[in-house]
Structures are given as structure tokens and as C-alpha cells.
A and B are shown apart, each in its own frame.
Chain A
Amino acid sequence: MDLQTLGQLLNTTLVFSTALIFAALGGIFSERSGVVNIGLEGLMMFGAFAAAVGGYYAQDAGMGAWAPWVGMLCAMVVGVLGSLIHAVASITFKADQTISGTVINFLAAGSTLYMVKLLFEGAGESPLIDGFRKIKIPGLSDIPVIGEGIFNSYPTTYLVIVLVIVIYFILFKTPFGLRLRAVGEHPSAADTLGVNVKRMRYIGVMLSGLLAGLGGATITLTTTGTFAHNTISGQGFIAIAAMIFGKWNPVGAFGAAVFFGFSQAIRNYVQLFEWSQNIPQEFIFMIPYVLTIIVLVSAVGRSSAPKALGEPYDPGKR
């Protein structure tokens, strides 16, 4: 395995991780505000669908290189709209958050495919679009390994890395972040101090829709080029795992998502190693999931979820 392959492996890892990081960041916003979001899978589906359809019509209209960005914009809007279902049910009507998250998954799986069939005359998937192209950063992309690995990526990857840092600052260094976390830890105390609990939670859930939508969009615009029933197959649940693994911290979730992305990427490269020839591929596929459990058992231990996670806020309750 030479340096060039190592660079390519790093590059593929980032391609797979990007969608997971977006969705995990979304999950952090929602859960830090105290709302469980099991609906990330569905929100990614909404985003992937909107990006494929929006991107297709933009490309059709001759927007060229701007078309994928239109897709991203559509994904954000549809993601937010989808998350509003969750917000209305769980925050306003105090429904069980797990249940309304599951509802998102169902509605997304049903409505996106229904609309694809409506829009494209019964076809099972949306038409293939060009999507994003990789951008080389001049100078930096000449560094061995890292140049090929990091500085020759899709725009979405650069965007998500910036977002991780920005969201870390928002959550831990701004009054808004403090309020959001307070609402998730101890809503009645936050309420006493004049924080509007419901509004903060609405913002948290809508941001999760926006980010998970971008995560779904990333998959259609960089990997598949179309939207079909299996475009998002379990990625949202992996993102939830990354969020918990990363202890509801943007940087931690970033690390966990890169780990899961690496495990998807390694499949394409594993045949290049001498020692791996004799290991059945099923066991190689299993490694990341087994490792996650081992890491959780040995190092991370008790995960520290936001205290009020899963509880609808009821001002009359003590």
C-alpha cells in the first residue's frame, strides 16, 4: 500500500463521512434542546429527495455548476418542513418524541417515493444528475497524502468541516448555545430565567431538519446522483450512533462519523492488503460495529445524555 492509495482512502473516507457528520450535527441540535430525534433517517431521505429533484430541474434549466447548490437549498427547505412535523407533534402537542420521530421516518419513506413516481412517470428513481465536482485547493493539494486526501474534496466536505467548528462555538461559546443546552438539561430552570423553552426547542428541531437534509443531499449530489428507495439505507441510524458515540459534542460526533465513514471506505481497499486475503469479507464488514461496542465498553463508558432528553416540557409540572 503506497502513499497515493493512502491518500485516496482518506479521500473516500471523507466522502462517506460527510453525510453522517451533517446528520449527526443536526441530531446534536435537536437532542441538546431536549428533543429525541430518531427521525434523522427520514429527514435525510427528505433532503436526498429534494436535492435530486431540485438539482434535476435546475440542471434542466441550464444552471450548470450552480444546479447542485439549488439542490442543497431545496434539501434545507424540505428538511426543515419535515422536521416541523416532529416539532409540532412533540413540542406543541407533547407527543412521545420517539413516536413522532418514527412518524418522520415513515412519512419520508412513503412520500418521497410517491412523489418521485408522480414526477417522473412511475419511475422508481429520479433521473441521474451531475452533482458536485471535487475542488482542488491550489498549493495545499500538493502535500503528499493529506493533499490528495483532504484538499481535493467535494465542496460539501469543506462546508461540513467549517460547520463542525462553527457549531462547536455556537453551542459552547454563545448565549444562544447556553440557552439551547439549558433547555435540554433543565427546562424549568431555563424558563424561570426567561428563556422561551418551546421556541428554543422548535429552533433545535428545525436546525436538525436543515442539517440532516443537507446530509441526505450530500449523498445524492456526491455519491449516487439519483434518489431511489435505497439511497439512504440506515445512514440516519448510523448518524444517531455517531452522535451518542461523540457524547452530543460536535467535535466528538465528527470523530465518530469519520470512523464510520472510514469503515465504509476500507471495504473498497481491503483487498490491497496481503494479510486481509484470508479473512472472510463479512468479518471485515463487521469490524467497525464490533469496534464501536468495544470502545464504548472500555473507554467511553456511561454516556451523558442531556438530562431532560425525551421529556415534553410541561410548565405546570414540578
Chain B
Amino acid sequence: MHRLKKIFATDTYVVPIVAVIMGFLVGAVVMLIGGYDPIAAYSALFKRVFGSPYDFGEAIREMTPLMFTGLAVAFAFRSGMFNIGADGQVLIGMTAASIVGIKLAGTPTYLLVPLAVIAAGLAGGLWAGFAGFLKAKRGINEVITTIMLNWIALYLSNYIIKNFLLLQGQNRSVDNPASMSMTFLNSLFDNARVHWGTVLALVAAVFFYVYLWKTKQGYEMRAVGFNPHAAEYAGMNVGRNVIKAMFISGVFAGLAGAGEVLGVFHYQSIFAASPGYGFDGIAVALLGLTHPFGVILAAILYGMLTYGSAGMSFGADVPPELIRIVIGSIIFFIAAQGIVRWVLKPFYFKRKKEKVS
């Protein structure tokens, strides 16, 4: 009981919850200013997510790549780096999954699917690892290299699809025979596109946690992220840790690509512009306070809000863009915890004072 009390007393848990509530309030105020009914809009949002088994399954589908890219950005963050390039790593992962799935068609499924997934993870990892390598060996800011690599990934992927995997006359690749879909759940979710990627994302989160907090290598990585000079002085190889951290971060992003191609679409489109998975991942990582389990919760919230926002525009005629204001405000209140503490002060810090006396 004492321990339970302690968990709920820490502001690590209270601040994000209050921030979420305040974010929804900001959204409500913005809707009132625009002349909309916030209660109708929010209930339409939740009705859209929980209204039918199909929609619920599709909402899970929406959350999955966010879990992966959120983990990718958070992992790099923990090691002291800012990976803006998750977007490109997702694309490269998609392309690798497409190449392996389509070119090795005919291989038994129990081999083909794992091969395609591994290829996607490796490709994403190497793509991000390259940025880590440039940082470690030449001291080049990873922000600029990952932005550049995003664009290169976009054009390279399009080139590969267009020239080697194209479905004639269409703007996409031929169908990919490797499938991660959970077809046995079709009747439960009314044919929503749920797939094994979701399970893989949860496994990745556990790996993230165990690796960073329970192994020696993870300890080194966090030390490098916390203070590279101290880590170097203690005899750790900073450069190697930087490359390794970026590689693992890229693997997470690459797996998101595998999930989208093998689990959801079963083909790869030619994108005119960046699909944006990586930028959403930044938001998810920050919402989740860069902790793996926080990231999963944040991805669930984020996925629910974005999927539900379409319901808002049908149900209450509110522009779905509003949800970006809500998400932005939530992140704002989490980042500027001073504001939340100030709001909570009358209820919260009084209690703490009593404890002291």
C-alpha cells in the first residue's frame, strides 16, 4: 500500500495526466471560439475509435508505426542524439521489405516473412547508423545528416520501386506476398488491418527497457548520452556508442516500415513527399517522456486522437486539424512542467508540505 501511494505521489505520473486534460481543455476553448460544440466533437472522436470493432482495429493499426518511430526517436534521445531522420529510415525499411518480399517470392512463408522483417530492420539501422558514423568519426551534427538522409531515402525508394518493382501503369509496387497480417483476427475486428507489427512494437519496447537499464552496454549508452566527456574519461568508447545507438534507433524505425508494407498495404506506394511517420515519432517520443513504456502509452493516445479526428469532422463538422492543436498543447504542458505545477499548486504542494511537517 505504501509503495502504491509512492507511485501515485510522484509528479512523473501526475504531470502528464494533468497535461493531457489541459490539452483537451485548450482544444475545447479553440472549438468554442470557432463556434463549434466541443462536447459533441470529443464524443464523436471517441465514438469513432470505440464505435465498432473495425474502427478499433484500424485505430490499433494507426498506433503501430507511431510506437516504432516513437521508440526510435526516444532511444536516440536517451543516448544524447536527435534523430530527425526516422522518416527516411521508415522508408528505407519499407523498401527493403518490398525488395525481399517480392524478389524472393516463392520462399516458404515462415522464412520469407522473417527475412523481409529482418531486412527492413537492418536497412533502417544501417541508414541511421551512417549518420551515427559521420557524427562519431567526423563530428558532423546528426540533425543535418538525418534531414539530408530523409530526402535521399525518399528519392532512392521511389527509384527502386519505379524501376524494379513497379506494377505496370500504377503508382505503386506489385503486391508483396510476405504478409504480417493477423488474418485469424479478421472476424473479431471485422477485417480491420491488424498485423504482427503491433506485437513486435511491444517487444521492442521491452527490449528498449531491458537493454538500456539492465545491461552494461545500455548503461554505457546512457552515460554517453548524459555526459559524453565524463563517459570518455571513464574509459568508454563514445564514438562506438554513438554509432550503436543510432543503429538501434534506426532498426526500430525500419521495423515500422516493415509493418506498413507487410501488414497494412501489402504493396509500397511511390511517395510524392515524405509520409511523416518520423515527425509524428518525435511528438510521440516527447509525449512519452522518452521512456519506452511512456512511448507506448503516448502512441496509443496519439493514434487514438489522429484516427478519431476523422470522426470529429463527420460527426461534429469540426476540422480534423484541431487535433494537432490538442496534441501540440499536451506536449507544451508536458515540456513546460512549470505551468502545470503552477496550476496544481493549490491542491498538490500543500499535501507535500503536510508530509514534511
Taking beta carbons and an 8 Å cutoff, which residues of B are in contact with A? 30, 34, 82, 84, 134, 138-141, 143-145, 147-149, 151-152, 155-156, 158-159, 162-163, 273-274, 279, 282-283, 286, 319, 321-329, 331-332, 334-339
Q: In chain A, residues 247-304, which have Cβ atoms closer than 8 Å to a Cβ of chain B?
A: 280, 282-283, 285-286, 289-290, 292-293, 296-297, 301-303
A117-B319 contact in complex given A85-B332, A106-B331, A286-B155, C-beta closer than 8 Å? yes
- Is A103 touching B332 in the complex (CB atoms < 8 A)? yes
- Is B156 touching A286 in the complex (CB atoms < 8 A)? yes
| Chain A nearest Cβ from B344, distance in angstroms | 14
- Is B331 touching A237 in the complex (CB atoms < 8 A)? no
- Is B329 touching A107 in the complex (CB atoms < 8 A)? yes
B residues near A99, Cβ cutoff 8 Å: 286, 331, 334-335
Decide if A67 is an interface residue (CB 8 Å cutoff).
Answer: no
A85 to B134, CA, bound (A): 34
Interface centre among A96, A114, A303 (most CB of B within 10 A): A114
Nearest B-chain residue to A89, judged by Cβ: B336
Nearest B-chain residue to A230, judged by Cβ: B273
A237 to B321, CA, bound (A): 21
Pick from A102, A118, A234: contact of B286, CB below 8 A: A102
| Chain B nearest Cβ from A278, distance in angstroms | 13
Q: In chain A, residues 90-117, which have Cβ atoms closer than 8 Å to a Cβ of chain B?
A: 92-96, 98-100, 102-107, 109-111, 113-114, 117
| Chain B nearest Cβ from A307, distance in angstroms | 13
Q: Identify the stretch in A156-164, A169-177, A238-246 within 8 Å (CB) of chain B at 4 or more residues.
A: A238-246
Decide if A192 is an interface residue (CB 8 Å cutoff).
Answer: no
10 chain-A/chain-B pairs, Cβ below 8 angstroms: A93-B338, A100-B332, A102-B282, A103-B335, A104-B328, A110-B325, A240-B147, A241-B143, A285-B155, A302-B139
A residues near B151, Cβ cutoff 8 Å: 285-286, 289
A282-B155 contact in complex given A98-B82, A234-B274, A244-B143, C-beta closer than 8 Å? yes
A residues near B148, Cβ cutoff 8 Å: 241, 289-290, 292-293
A residues near B152, Cβ cutoff 8 Å: 286, 289-290
Give me 9 other A-B pairs in contact (C-beta within 8 A), A107-B325, A280-B163 excluded. A92-B338, A93-B339, A94-B338, A95-B337, A110-B326, A241-B148, A296-B140, A297-B140, A303-B141
B residues near A290, Cβ cutoff 8 Å: 148, 152
| Chain A nearest Cβ from B324, distance in angstroms | 3
B residues near A233, Cβ cutoff 8 Å: 273-274
A-B contact count (CB 8 A): 142
Interface centre among A88, A92, A233, A234 (most CB of B within 10 A): A234
- Is A283 touching B155 in the complex (CB atoms < 8 A)? yes
- Is B138 touching A301 in the complex (CB atoms < 8 A)? yes
A residues near B326, Cβ cutoff 8 Å: 110
Nearest B-chain residue to A42, judged by Cβ: B328
Decide if A65 is an interface residue (CB 8 Å cutoff).
Answer: no
- Is B159 touching A283 in the complex (CB atoms < 8 A)? yes
- Is A114 touching B322 in the complex (CB atoms < 8 A)? yes
- Is A114 touching B332 in the complex (CB atoms < 8 A)? no
Interface centre among B82, B140, B329 (most CB of A within 10 A): B140
| Chain A nearest Cβ from B20, distance in angstroms | 14
Interface size on A, as a range, is 35 or more
| Chain A nearest Cβ from B318, distance in angstroms | 9
Nearest B-chain residue to A106, judged by Cβ: B328
Pick from A110, A245, A301: contact of B139, CB below 8 A: A301
Nearest A-chain residue to B131, judged by Cβ: A293
B residues near A244, Cβ cutoff 8 Å: 141, 143-144
Decide if A166 is an interface residue (CB 8 Å cutoff).
Answer: no
Nearest A-chain residue to B273, judged by Cβ: A233
- Is A110 touching B324 in the complex (CB atoms < 8 A)? yes
| Chain A nearest Cβ from B76, distance in angstroms | 12
- 5 nearest interchain CB pairs? A110-B324, A106-B328, A302-B139, A93-B338, A282-B159
Decide if A140 is an interface residue (CB 8 Å cutoff).
Answer: no
| Chain A nearest Cβ from B353, distance in angstroms | 22
| Chain A nearest Cβ from B276, distance in angstroms | 10
A residues near B336, Cβ cutoff 8 Å: 88-89, 93, 95, 100
A227 to B12, CA, bound (A): 40
A residues near B158, Cβ cutoff 8 Å: 282
Nearest A-chain residue to B329, judged by Cβ: A107
Nearest B-chain residue to A112, judged by Cβ: B321
| Chain A nearest Cβ from B253, distance in angstroms | 17
Interface centre among B147, B148, B149, B162 (most CB of A within 10 A): B148
| Chain A nearest Cβ from B123, distance in angstroms | 17
- Is B139 touching A96 in the complex (CB atoms < 8 A)? no
A residues near B147, Cβ cutoff 8 Å: 237-238, 240-241
B residues near A100, Cβ cutoff 8 Å: 332, 335-336
- Is B139 touching A303 in the complex (CB atoms < 8 A)? yes
A89 to B338, CA, bound (A): 9
Decide if A305 is an interface residue (CB 8 Å cutoff).
Answer: yes
A240 to B144, CA, bound (A): 8
A111 to B328, CA, bound (A): 10
| Chain B nearest Cβ from A230, distance in angstroms | 7
A151 to B201, CA, bound (A): 56
A111 to B34, CA, bound (A): 11
Convert A106-144 into 0s and 1s, putting 1 for each residue whose CB lies closer than 8 angstroms to a CB of B.
110111011001100010000000000000000000000
Interface centre among B162, B282, B323, B324 (most CB of A within 10 A): B324
- Is B331 touching A282 in the complex (CB atoms < 8 A)? no
- Is B34 touching A118 in the complex (CB atoms < 8 A)? yes
A residues near B159, Cβ cutoff 8 Å: 280, 282-283
- Is B143 touching A102 in the complex (CB atoms < 8 A)? no
Interface centre among A113, A290, A293, A301 (most CB of B within 10 A): A293
Pick from A105, A289, A303: contact of B140, CB below 8 A: A303
B residues near A106, Cβ cutoff 8 Å: 283, 324-325, 327-328, 331
A57 to B283, CA, bound (A): 35
A290 to B147, CA, bound (A): 11
| Chain B nearest Cβ from A121, distance in angstroms | 12
